Amino acid sequence: MKIKHLSLVLLTLVLVFGCSSKEKSEKPKIAVVVSTLNNPWFVMLAESAAENAKKLGYEAKIFDSQNNPAIESDNFENLISSGYDAILLNPTDSDGSISNILKAKTAGIPVFCMDREVNADDAATSQILSDNYSGCVSIGIEFVKELKEKGKYVEILGLVGDNNTWARSGGFHSVVDKFPNLKMVAQQSGDFDRNKAMEVLETILQANPDIDGVFCGNDAMAMGAFQALQAAGKETKVKIFGFDGAGDVIEKIREKKIIATGMQFPKVMAQTAAQYADEYFKGRKVFPQRVPVEVELVNAANIKDY
């Protein structure tokens, strides 16, 4: 009896310590969920986040929400059921993404937002965000200077459900609206999409062929605006302004075909989000709700630095 009892104890110890050893050997899994991979800027953000997570020793996989809150919701359902331990999120919608984040929170999974903000202070563990408003104040000042305080212009907005869209528009108008001889003749959404922005501006140009400037809420749309103006033979007359610091727009500024952009730092946001997830796994539970990341104006005067 004593031998049987001893064997049972040893078997139990082997199972217990064997399982513990297996659990300890498993790497935590980090999901990188981005609004769209149909934009080089978000590809850079996603790949940088995954790369930083892997450097810290974790498994990482990228999910594309295709700018669709319903697909983002499906992504969250799948990764929660698949046992992911943290989510680095670029939300599709400032309000619509909150319920997805809360599902993860209920499941004990921290969510660190990157670049795009959600309208809640108690959902995400932390939000690492570009200072869009201040960045577009700088764009507005450059816009006024380049148009010499007068002329007609168009604003192409990003996604109307995204806080970044309105923070950028608000920063821009906080400057430009003080100059009564600058008249906005059209304001429409291009959904942060290059082709959509091109189509939008092509339509606007039919009714307003004499515009002097275009302010675009991101660089993909600035490239779409450039294509529309080029097709209309107006690319040398109309001054284009973007926001992001994308490589193709930097080249267009170098070629003097686009006036300026706001340089964001997606790699800084991605690295901070991955670092925060690492610190969470190591025991830190309190993080700043919003972490602003500075935006730099890029124009002809400093393009040599980029």
Contact 88, 56 (CB under 8 A): no
Contact 86, 97 (CB under 8 A): no
Instruction: Classify residue 184 as exposed, middle or buried by CB count within 10 Å of its CB (0-12, 13-18, 19+).
Output: middle
Give CA separation, 244 vs 17, 125, 265, 296, in Å: 51, 25, 8, 10
Cα–Cα distance, 83 to 70 (Å, whole number):
20
Give the H or E element holding residue 147.
Answer: none
Contact 208, 152 (CB under 8 A): yes
Fold of 29-129+267-292: Rossmann fold (3.40.50)
Q: What is the pLDDT along the chain (306 residues), one digit of tens a residue?
A: 444 454 544 444 444 444 444 444 578 999 999 999 988 889 999 999 999 999 999 999 999 999 899 999 999 999 999 999 999 999 999 899 999 999 999 999 999 999 989 999 989 999 999 999 999 999 999 999 999 999 999 999 999 988 889 999 999 999 999 999 999 999 999 999 999 999 999 999 999 999 999 999 999 999 999 999 999 999 999 999 999 998 999 999 999 999 999 999 999 999 999 999 999 999 999 999 999 999 999 999 999 999
Fold of 132-263: Rossmann fold (3.40.50)
Tens of pLDDT along 24-69?
457 899 999 999 998 888 999 999 999 999 999 999 999 999 989 9
Domain ranges of the chain: 29-129+267-292, 132-263
Question: Quick check: do 29-129+267-292 and 132-263 share a fold?
Answer: yes
Contact 286, 110 (CB under 8 A): no
Residues in Cβ contact with 95 at an 8 Å cutoff, skipping those fewer than 6 apart: 118, 119, 161
**Tokens at residue 233, please?**
């033979």
